Amino acid sequence: MKPGNLSNTAEFLLLGLSEDPELQPLLFSLFLSVYLVTVVGNLLIILAIIYDSHLHTPMYFFLSNLSFIDICFTTTTLPKMLVNIQTQSNAISYPGCLTQICFVLTFVGLENGILVTMAYDRFVAICHPLRYNVIMNPKLCGLLVLMSFLISVLDALLHTLMALRLSCTDLTIPHFFCELAHILKLSCSDIHINNILVYLVTSLLGVIPLSGIIFSYTRIVSSVLKMPSAGRKYKAFSICGSHLVVVSLFYGTGFGVYLSSAATPSSRKNAIVSVMYTVVTPMMNPFIYSLRNKDMMGALRKLISRISSFY
C-alpha cells in the first residue's frame, strides 16, 4: 500500500485500545501477562506431547501444531503493541505494517486449517475406528499440515500483494495491529477488486472448512448415539468436547469481529472485539485441552516434575 505523497519510510499510526494515559500501565501489565500465559501454556503443551510417547498420535500431533500456531499468532501482534505502550509511540513502519498483515492472515488461515484436520481426525477415529491407523498415517498427517501451511501462505501473500497497489493519505489505524480490513477502509484507491478477493477467499477458506467441521460432527454425533455402551458414549463426547469448544471460540469470535466491523466501521470498538480472537482464544486453548484431558494432564505433570528435578 503506497501512502499518498509519502516515501516508503512513512509510518502508520496504531491508535490501540485506548489513548487514555492513565490506562496505559494497566493495559501493558494485562497484555504482558496474557502474552506470557499464552506462550508458556502452549509451549508446555508442545513439550508434553514431545516428551510423552503415549501422546505420539495424530490427535496430539495436530494439537501441538495448533499450540505452535497460537504462539506465533500472538507474537505477531502483542509484542509490537507492548512496545508501543512502553515507548508511548503509536508508530509502525510501512514494511512492518504489511508484514504484520501477511503474518496475521497466515496464522489465521493455519489455525482454520488445523481445526478442520482435527475435526477430520475425530471423524475417522469415531466413525471408522478399525481403519483409523491405516487412514491417519504419519504421511497423511504431515501432508494435511503442509497443505494448510501452503494454502495459508499463498492466501496471505495474495492479499498483501493486492494491498501494494493501493494508496492513501490517512495513515491512522483505529486498532492495536495492522488488519487488512482497516487498511482497505483507509484507501483512497478503488478497492472493488480487493473486496471481491476478500469475499471470495472468505467463502472458500472460511465457509467450506466450517461446513466440513459441521458435517464431521453431524456424523460423529450420529455414530456416538448408536453406541450401546454409555461409557463409550461419554468417552467419545469428552474427546470431541475440547475441540468443539475451541472451534466455537475461533469461529464465534471471528464472526463477531466481522459483524461488529460491518455494523460500526472504523470504530475503536472493533479493536476491542478483535482481542477475543487474537488474544483470548490462543490463551484459552491450552486450558481447554489440558483441563478436559486426563492424558494431557498426566503428561504435563510428568513434564513439570522433570523440569523441577533439574533445580
The sign of the dihedral angle between the CA atoms of 172, 178, 181, 184 is positive
Q: How far apart are the first and last CA of the chain?
A: 51
CA distances from residue 28 to 18, 204, 280 in whole angstroms, order as listed: 11, 37, 15
- What is the pLDDT, as a whole number, of residue 256? 66
Confidence grade of residue 184 (pLDDT, cut at 50, 70, 90): confident
| 165-182 average pLDDT score | 79
- What is the pLDDT, as a whole number, of residue 292? 66
Identify whether the C-beta of residue 14 lies closer than 8 Å to the C-beta of residue 271. no
Residues with Cβ within 8 Å of residue 273, at least 6 apart in sequence: 253, 256, 257, 260
d(Cα 38, Cα 35) in Å, to the nearest integer? Answer: 5
Domain boundaries, given as residue ranges, for the chain: 10-309
User: Does residue 13 have a pLDDT over 90?
Assistant: no
- What is the pLDDT, as a whole number, of residue 279? 86
pLDDT digits (tens, 9 = 90+) for 47-62: 999 988 888 999 999 9
d(Cα 36, Cα 22) in Å, to the nearest integer? Answer: 23
All three cell numbers of 29 = 501489565
Identify whether the C-beta of residue 175 lies closer than 8 Å to the C-beta of residue 182. yes
Among the listed residues 279, 284, 285, the one whose alpha carbon sits nearest the alpha carbon of residue 17: 279
Identify the burial level of 100 via C-beta atoms within 10 angstroms of its C-beta, where 0-12 means exposed, 13-18 middle and 19 or more buried: buried
The whole-model pTM stands at: 0.88
All three cell numbers of 173 = 489505524
- The three-point CA angle 223-229-235 to 5° equals 70
Among the listed residues 59, 50, 219, 46, the one whose alpha carbon sits nearest the alpha carbon of residue 123: 219
User: Yes or no: is domain 10-309 CATH 1.20.1070.10?
Assistant: yes
More reliable by pLDDT, 173 or 134: 134
More reliable by pLDDT, 238 or 14: 14
- Region at 178 (left for phi over 0; alpha for psi -120 to 50; beta for the rest): beta
pLDDT digits (tens, 9 = 90+) for 190-224: 788 888 888 888 788 888 888 889 999 888 888 88
User: Across 4-8, 91-95, 109-113, which has the greatest mean pLDDT?
Assistant: 109-113
pLDDT digits (tens, 9 = 90+) for 105-157: 999 999 999 999 999 999 998 888 889 999 999 999 999 999 999 999 999 99
Running DSSP on this structure, what letter comes out for residue 280? I
- Region at 5 (left for phi over 0; alpha for psi -120 to 50; beta for the rest): left
